[in-house]
Amino acid sequence: MKTLITRKVGMISTIAEDGAMKAVTLLQADANTITQIKDIEHDGYNAVQLGYGSAKRLAKAQAGHYKASKSSPKVVREFRLAEITDELKLGEQVNANNFEIGDHVHVTAVSKGKGWAGTIKRHNFQRGRKTHGGRSYRRPGSIGSMFPQKIFKGKKMAGQMGHEQVTVRNLTVSLIDNTNHVIGVNGAVPGPRKAIVEVRGA
C-alpha cells in the first residue's frame, strides 16, 4: 500500500547523473498508524484510514474511535483502495519503506492562500493602456452584454486566490532517507512549509 501522510519540509537542489540540476521537495515521512479499515461488505467501499502525528487532547468520540488502534493521531486521512489485503491490520505502522526510488506518486495538499486578488494576478489578464486618456489600467473590462441581463457562473473575475486543495500528479520519488524519515520528490508540491501532504502511488 503506497499511501502516506507527510509534512512538507522545504526544497533543495540535486545534481543528476547526467549533470542536470533538479529541484526536489523534501517531505517528513514519519510512521502512520492504520486507525480504521473499511470494506465493501460493511461500508460499501474499500478504504484505509491513516493517522499521523500525536494529539495532545482528544474528544471522547475520537478517543473511542482510535482505541482499537491504540493511537491518538493529530491528522487523519482516508485513502480508497482497489482491494483490502490480509497484510493490512488495525494499529500497524505504515512508513516510507513502502516507496522506492523511481516510483510515480500523486501528491495532494492545500495551496498557499493569496487572499483577494484582481483579474491580472488571478487570471493573467492584460492591463489597459496608460496613454491617450486611457483610465482602465487594471480594470476587468466588460463582464456581460445586454442579453441575457445576467453574469454567467464561472466568469473570470476578481476573488479569493489560493487556499484550495491541489493535486500534482506523476511526480517521481528521487530520495528516500529511512534514518531521518524523509522522502524527496522531483518538482514542486502545493502548500507552505509544514503543510500536510498526502502521497499515494500513481
In the prediction, which pLDDT does 145 show?
A: 85
94 vs 32: CA distance, rounded Å: 5
Give pTM, 2 decimals: 0.84
175 vs 24: CA distance, rounded Å: 9
In the prediction, which pLDDT does 71 show?
A: 86
Cα dihedral 106, 109, 174, 78 sign: negative
In the prediction, which pLDDT does 112 show?
A: 96
CA separation, residue 166 to residues 34, 139, 156 (Å)? 24, 28, 19
pLDDT tops 90 at residue 188: yes
- 124-178 pLDDT tens trace: 999 999 999 989 999 999 998 889 899 999 999 999 999 999 999 999 999 999 8
pLDDT tops 90 at residue 117: yes
133 vs 75: CA distance, rounded Å: 56
On the question of a common fold for 1-30+98-112+163-202 and 31-94, the answer reads no
Mean pLDDT of 13-40: 91
Topology of the domain comprising 31-94: Double Stranded RNA Binding Domain (3.30.160)
Cα of first residue to Cα of last residue in the chain, in angstroms, is 11
The CATH number for 1-30+98-112+163-202, chosen from 3.90.550.10, 2.40.30.10, 3.30.70.1560, 3.10.20.440, is 2.40.30.10
Mean pLDDT of 90-109: 91
Cell of 7: 509534512
pLDDT band for position 87 (cuts 50, 70, 90): confident
Peptide bond into 148 cis (omega under 30): yes
For the chain, which residues make up each domain, given as ranges?
1-30+98-112+163-202, 31-94, 115-139+152-159
